[in-house]
């Protein structure tokens, strides 16, 4: 970027005032830090509360049957409202929506931390989901419009993708530390600190954004897709606790599928679609959305069951359990930033995501070898490192591919679709793998009762068997993802997002 000197009225040369766009570009790496903090907060809250649940249950006196609602309330509100949040960022402006999301998320976190009963905590978690649905797509669309140079965009998306991929594990670590060393309520209060820093950064550094074209809000589409996503997420959550044969599970999932079909039909008929079909029918974007969805399913195979194994079999404390995931996060960060900055511009997303998902499958297969005598260093750490490499090579390029080539007025909703896929994938993965593991444990216990010396030993052996079965299924999911990306996504580099050429030339 060059500086032009202008001559004032008295004949002296002066530097013209910096434009808002120039300032925004100059501060782009600081802005990435702000956006990364916000994304981390949203991703953390999907897992940070899990470790605190037993302590919250004791403090607020609610039963085991109610415990899942602390997690489900967040997932339902977040997952069902993401597309609306993405479109609102297109309507209201990304910066405004981002700031509203930050303030609201912090306020709901404060309410949850101060909860005096179960209902207050559930309502606060649902409120976090509502404002998270505003915050997450606004952050991703701000990222896509802030970084316009292809090489810099690769680095930025690598960092952002690493946060999205590793935030769940960091949530387990932070949740364990806060629960063990402070109080379970700090798993919610910590968001006030994160949100305050991000809010100051957003106000000071992110330039104002006003949509040049303000699309009309597609109310039938909003109502239909929100109801569809709610039904799907609730159906899978119900399957996790009550099984796939439960009438409520079947009813909610069928209703969700029917509403989703209706939503697609409506989007093909309205000129002001909430999610224009052009966004998802592009092969690169569509394949990237599927990759994010599949990564969401498979990652829960790591976090959920490996957490059980570390704590129940290896007797790790919550803090030590969180620390055990750090090598995977390190490998994920290094691979994500390298792959998007160096490999993605040269080779494109197709083979990068295909190879990444294949590597993730290998790491998951490594974990299927766990048994009663396994150790962390010999039997878990290598699998985690391989998983980190695979997820880093697939997650960050998928996030960048999912919003490549979209028009500026669709940036918000395209970003929201990424988060929707990750959230719904996580819900599907939790329910699918939990029920498969539960069935495997019951079958193993029945078949091997004669070989166990005690009931406790039989339960432990059945639990380990159920984890390895879940790991095999997750490995199969990653292989399926590799095949889908190889077939669906186009070869070659990513298309340039509309408007980027002009912005790059200006800087």
Over residues 173-199, the mean pLDDT reads 90
Q: Can you give the pLDDT at residue 301? A: 67
In the beta sheet, which residues pair with residue 284? Answer: none
Over residues 423-449, the mean pLDDT reads 84
Residue spans of the domains in the chain: they are 18-217+274-506, 218-273
pLDDT in tens, 448-481: 777 767 787 888 888 899 999 999 999 999 999 9
Using the predicted structure, report yes or no on whether residue 507 has a pLDDT greater than 60: no
Q: Which two tokens stand for residue 133?
A: 């649905």
CB under 8 Å to 245, separation ≥6 — which residues?
Answer: none
Using the predicted structure, report yes or no on whether residue 5 has a pLDDT greater than 60: no
Over residues 394-405, the mean pLDDT reads 85
Q: Can you give the pLDDT at residue 211? A: 59
Over residues 339-354, the mean pLDDT reads 85
- Torsion sign (Cα): 495, 497, 499, 505: negative
Q: Can you give the pLDDT at residue 343? A: 82
Distance CA 69, CA 59 (A): 16
> 3-class DSSP state for residue 433?
helix
Higher pLDDT, 476 or 26: 476
Is 1.20.1250.20 the CATH number for 18-217+274-506?
yes
Q: Can you give the pLDDT at residue 503? A: 33
pLDDT in tens, 64-108: 667 778 878 888 888 888 888 888 888 888 899 999 999 999 999
Over residues 400-412, the mean pLDDT reads 81
Q: Which of 45-49, 247-251, 444-448, 487-491 has the weakest average pLDDT?
A: 45-49
Higher pLDDT, 163 or 388: 388
Distance CA 208, CA 231 (A): 36
Return the top range by mean pLDDT from 91-95, 214-218, 382-386: 382-386
> What is the pTM (predicted TM-score) of this model?
0.82
- Vertex 485 angle, CA 484 and 489, to 5°: 120
Q: Are 361 and 475 in contact (CB under 8 A)?
A: yes
Confidence label for 227 from pLDDT (cuts 50, 70 and 90): very high
Q: Which two tokens stand for residue 63?
A: 């039963």
Phi, psi (deg, nearest 5) at residue 375: -120, 160
Q: Can you give the pLDDT at residue 213? A: 61
Q: Say if residue 456 is exposed, middle or buried (CB neighbours under 10 Å; 0-12, 13-18, 19+).
A: exposed
User: Which of 342, 74, 51 minimizes the C-alpha distance to 183?
Assistant: 51
Buried b (16+ CB within 10 A) or exposed e, 281-302: ebebbbbbbbbbbbbbbbbbbb
Q: Can you give the pLDDT at residue 2? A: 46
């Amino acid at each position: 970027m060059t500086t032009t000197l202008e001559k004032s009225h008295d004949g002296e040369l002066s530097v013209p005032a910096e434009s808002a766009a120039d300032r925004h570009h100059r501060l782009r790496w600081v802005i990435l830090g702000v956006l990364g903090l916000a994304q981390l907060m949203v991703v953390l809250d999907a897992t940070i509360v899990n470790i605190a649940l037993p302590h919250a249950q004791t403090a607020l006196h609610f039963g085991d049957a109610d415990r899942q609602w602390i997690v489900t309330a967040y997932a339902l509100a977040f997952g069902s409202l993401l597309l609306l949040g993405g479109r609102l960022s297109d309507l209201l402006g990304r910066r405004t929506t981002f700031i509203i999301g930050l303030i609201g998320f912090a306020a709901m976190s404060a309410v949850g931390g101060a909860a005096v009963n179960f209902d207050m905590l559930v309502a606060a978690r649902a409120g976090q989901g509502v404002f998270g649905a505003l915050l997450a797509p606004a952050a991703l669309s701000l990222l896509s419009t802030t970084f316009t140079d292809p090489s810099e965009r690769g680095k930025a998306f690598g960092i952002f993708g690493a946060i999205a991929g590793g935030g769940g594990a960091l949530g387990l670590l932070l949740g364990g530390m806060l629960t063990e060393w402070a109080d379970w309520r700090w798993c919610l209060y910590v968001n006030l600190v994160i949100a305050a820093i991000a809010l100051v950064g957003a106000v000071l550094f992110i330039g104002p954004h006003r949509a040049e074209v303000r699309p009309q809000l597609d109310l039938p589409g909003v109502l239909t897709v929100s109801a569809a996503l709610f039904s799907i997420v609730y159906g899978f959550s119900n399957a996790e606790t009550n099984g796939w044969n439960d009438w409520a599970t079947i009813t909610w999932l069928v209703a969700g599928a029917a509403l989703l079909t209706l939503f697609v039909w409506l989007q093909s008929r309205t000129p002001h679609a909430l999610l224009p079909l052009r966004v998802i029918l592009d092969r690169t974007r569509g394949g990237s959305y599927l990759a994010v969805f599949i990564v969401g399913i498979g990652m829960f195979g790591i976090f959920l069951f490996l957490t059980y194994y570390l704590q129940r079999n290896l007797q790790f404390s919550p803090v030590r359990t969180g620390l055990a995931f750090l090598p995977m996060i390190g490998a994920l960060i290094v691979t994500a930033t390298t792959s998007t900055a160096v490999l993605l511009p040269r080779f494109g997303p197709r083979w990068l995501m295909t190879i990444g998902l294949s590597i993730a499958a290998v790491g998951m297969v490594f974990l299927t070898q766990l048994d009663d005598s396994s150790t962390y260093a010999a039997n878990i750490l290598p699998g985690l490192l391989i998983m980190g490499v695979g997820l880093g090579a697939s997650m960050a390029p998928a996030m960048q591919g999912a919003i490549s080539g979209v028009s500026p007025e669709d940036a918000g909703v395209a970003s929201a679709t990424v988060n929707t896929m990750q959230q719904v994938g996580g819900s599907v993965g939790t329910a699918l793998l939990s029920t498969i593991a539960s069935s495997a444990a019951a079958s193993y216990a029945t078949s091997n009762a004669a070989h166990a010396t005690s009931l406790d030993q039989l339960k432990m052996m059945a639990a380990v068997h159920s984890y390895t079965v879940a790991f095999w299924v997750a490995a199969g999911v990653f292989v399926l993802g590799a095949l889908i990306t190889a077939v669906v996504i186009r070869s070659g580099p990513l298309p340039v997002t509309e408007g980027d050429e002009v912005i790059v030339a200006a800087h």
